Amino acid sequence: MIFQIKLKIIDEFFVLYIGDYSPKNFTFNNNFFKKIKKILKPWLAKKTKKINSTTINIYVNKKSLKIRIKSNYKLLFTKNISKVNLNLKSLLNITLGSILMAVSIRLSQTGGFILHASACLFKNKALVFVGKSGAGKSTIKDLLSSSLKPLSDDVVFIKPKKNKYYLYQPFHQIMKDKKIKYTNKKFSLGKIFFLVKSNKRSKIIMIKNKEKIFRKISSEMWLPGESIKKNYWIKFYEFISNFRDFFEINFRKKRNELITLFNKKN
């Protein structure tokens, strides 16, 4: 039996095929199908375009679980996973991870990327907070959430469209933070902040040095194998050159101070 799920993520169409070819055990049962559809509800699509849609095939045979990602009949990614301890949780993680790989490949083809960052919405613009683990991405998002709408806690998708850049929320994070309302909408990219924790009064400093920006942002990108192609980096350099609102924010855990700072600077 094969399940089919149509998705619209980052304004692109994806078709997920899930099936079990094991003669004795049906791994992907109705409970799994209901659960994965519930998780992906904001991104479910009634129709998909046959042209330029990406297909994700996940199926189980006697020995392994196989993953295949294709676009326009071209194989982009393949992986075999040994059938060890396959349960509902591991199957959900494998499925979401496979969709994430397909999305990352599609982003790399369109000049977009996945960024290790949190985000909030302010005056209809997405503010993005970039930093390594422990830099304060969740902290600053939580501090601002009383006045700014939180969009993501740890990961964002960035994609260009008609000479503008947009942020999309990550579908695979929906189970981690119940306080965030996830949708398949795009949000206009406002500013990108690189986080620096401080004991002194919070302040925002604009960054104009493109080499510094490149080092900081590229170190927090999640890249699929295809994205190492020269054409991808050309598009990424275009983003660094065209998008001008990069800042460093030195902040401390003072909610009112931060909110006042953002109201002044934005």
Domains in the chain, CATH or no CATH each: 2-109 (no CATH), 113-265 (3.40.50)
Local confidence pLDDT in tens for the 266 residues of the chain: 688 999 999 999 999 998 876 655 556 677 888 899 999 999 999 776 655 689 999 988 777 889 999 987 788 889 988 866 777 888 889 999 999 999 999 998 888 999 999 999 999 999 999 998 888 999 999 999 989 999 999 999 999 998 899 999 999 887 677 789 999 999 999 999 999 988 888 899 999 999 999 999 999 998 765 545 667 788 888 899 999 999 999 998 889 999 998 887 66
- pTM of this structure: 0.91
Strand partners, 244: none
Q: Which residues contact 37 (CB under 8 A, 6 or more apart)?
A: 5, 44
Give the Cα separation of 129 and 140 in Å (integer): 8
Distances (CA, A) of 209 to 38, 216, 233: 44, 11, 18
